[in-house]
């Protein structure tokens, strides 16, 4: 089935409000989850809602907990999320980073005691909308093997970089070759996965998704991708007082205890370095040079980071967001448990 952007947001908000989530936090969480679906990041969209619901019921997400700054300088802040909804905590942290950057030109805000926050690009884009560069990274449960290793030690450690330009540039990527969700889906469907996505328990590359799930995801780009994932683990982990490696838990399906991952957000005001018009002109010139460069055989269009996602967003705004049957069935079950009517969507 397909539902509209507004319908999905209202549906998620309604469920969260029924669970006692404060209105602003429910609204922000619904916005980020729906944006994930709009841009084609389905593993970070409404698919995550059942996990959130179970965590709230279990007490491993505390939706109304205080979100506070525990350390601060004019250019730096450390935010303690109180184990509240990760989407709202990250939203608040980026707001802090933007305000500090307006005052001093560059800022960095770390986050600990939070939860999975959806697509990293959403928060980088918040800075872009203020005419600033946004850089966001985060950690996850150990899913990726180190280069030359056979067991999961690193997270998939997303990195998002948003640059305010025309057209906008928004890099949003994980440091694994493929998302774990794609391997889970292949296992459900009895299909093989491409060689290079993962290794089995012995560290051998495998096309068998079942063996891959018992082994580890592979870092993208070989040793270089591993190196990037490694340093991001430290920047969004120990640097902000959060866990690293196998000690990162709770970003998948937390069964007990709180999530231990961390986040780091950096915001840069281009005007701190160069005249804004000069920055825009130089950036546009580079974008044009890339997009008009000679194409490889069979390639119709050279894209810049973020362009495929923005095109998908435009398409899904017009056509609706596809919701897999198994996901919709789970959402209906949640609504029934909460005493909501699963037979009709909230009005657009």
The residue assigned the tokens 């330009």 is 165
Give the CA dihedral 327, 331, 333, 335, nearest 10 degrees.
180
**pLDDT tens over the chain, length 348 residues:** 899 999 999 999 999 999 999 999 999 999 999 999 999 998 899 999 999 999 999 999 999 999 999 999 999 999 999 999 999 999 999 999 999 999 999 999 999 999 999 999 999 999 999 999 999 999 999 999 999 999 999 999 999 999 999 999 999 999 999 988 789 878 888 999 999 999 999 999 999 999 999 999 999 999 999 999 999 999 999 999 999 999 999 998 767 799 999 999 999 999 999 999 999 999 999 999 999 999 999 999 999 999 999 999 999 999 999 998 989 999 999 999 999 986 655 444
In this prediction the pTM is 0.95
* CATH 1.10.1530.10 in the chain, residue ranges: 2-58+307-337
**Does domain 2-58+307-337 correspond to CATH entry 1.10.3720.10?**
no
Distance CA 159, CA 146 (A): 18
Q: Write out the DSSP string of 220-278.
A: TTHHHHHHHHHHHHHHTTGGGT---GGG--SSS---SS-----EEEEEE-GGGTS-HHH
* The pLDDT value given to residue 334: 96
Tokens 């889906």, residue located: 185
Q: Taking the CB of residue 112, how many other CB atoms lie within 10 A of it?
A: 22
> What is the per-residue pLDDT for 344?
57
Alpha carbons within 13 angstroms on the beta-carbon side of residue 321 total: 25
DSSP 195: T
Count the helices and strands in the chain (H runs, E runs): 11, 11
The DSSP H or E segment spanning 322 is: strand 321-322
Identify the pLDDT of residue 342: 66
pLDDT at 348: 41
Q: Any idea which architecture 68-176+219-272 has in CATH?
A: 2-Layer Sandwich (3.30)
pLDDT given for residue 343 in this prediction: 60
* pLDDT value, residue 207: 97
Q: Where in the chain is the domain with CATH 3.30.1370.60?
A: 68-176+219-272
- The confidence score (pLDDT) of residue 347 equals 45
Task: Decide: 32 and 26 in contact? Cβ < 8 Å.
Answer: no
Match 């495998």 to its residue by tokens. Answer: 206
Q: According to the model, what pLDDT value does residue 9 have?
A: 97
């Amino acid at each position: 089935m397909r539902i509209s952007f507004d319908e999905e947001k209202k549906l998620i908000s309604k469920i969260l409000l029924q669970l006692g989530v404060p209105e602003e936090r429910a609204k922000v969480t619904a916005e980020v989850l729906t944006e994930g679906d709009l841009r084609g990041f389905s593993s970070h969209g409404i698919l995550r809602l059942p996990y959130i619901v179970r965590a709230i019921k279990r007490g491993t997400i505390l939706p109304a907990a205080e979100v506070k700054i525990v350390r601060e300088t004019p250019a730096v802040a450390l935010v303690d999320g109180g184990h509240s909804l990760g989407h709202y905590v990250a939203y608040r942290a980026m707001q802090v980073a933007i305000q500090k950057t307006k005052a001093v030109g560059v800022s960095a805000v770390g986050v600990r005691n939070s939860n999975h926050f959806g697509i990293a690009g959403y928060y980088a884009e918040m800075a872009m909308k203020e005419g600033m560069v946004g850089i966001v990274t985060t950690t996850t449960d150990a899913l990726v093997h180190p280069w030359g290793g056979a067991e999961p030690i690193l997270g998939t450690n997303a990195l998002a970089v948003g640059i305010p330009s025309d057209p906008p540039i928004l890099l949003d990527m994980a440091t694994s070759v493929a998302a774990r969700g794609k391997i889970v889906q292949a296992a459900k469907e009895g299909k093989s996965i491409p060689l290079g996505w993962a290794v089995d328990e012995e560290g051998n590359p495998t096309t068998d998704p079942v063996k891959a799930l018992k082994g580890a995801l592979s870092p993208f780009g070989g040793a270089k991708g591993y190196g990037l994932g490694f340093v991001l683990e430290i920047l969004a982990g120990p640097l902000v007082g959060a866990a690293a490696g196998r000690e990162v838990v709770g970003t998948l399906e937390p069964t007990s205890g709180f999530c231990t991952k961390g986040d780091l957000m950096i915001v840069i005001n281009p005007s701190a370095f160069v005249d804004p018009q000069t920055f825009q002109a130089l950036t546009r010139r580079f974008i044009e040079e890339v997009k008009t460069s000679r194409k490889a055989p069979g390639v119709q269009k050279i894209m810049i980071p973020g362009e495929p996602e923005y095109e998908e967003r435009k398409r899904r705004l017009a056509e609706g967001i596809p919701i897999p049957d198994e996901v919709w069935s789970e959402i209906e079950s949640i609504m029934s448990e909460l005493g909501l009517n699963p037979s009709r969507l909230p009005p657009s």
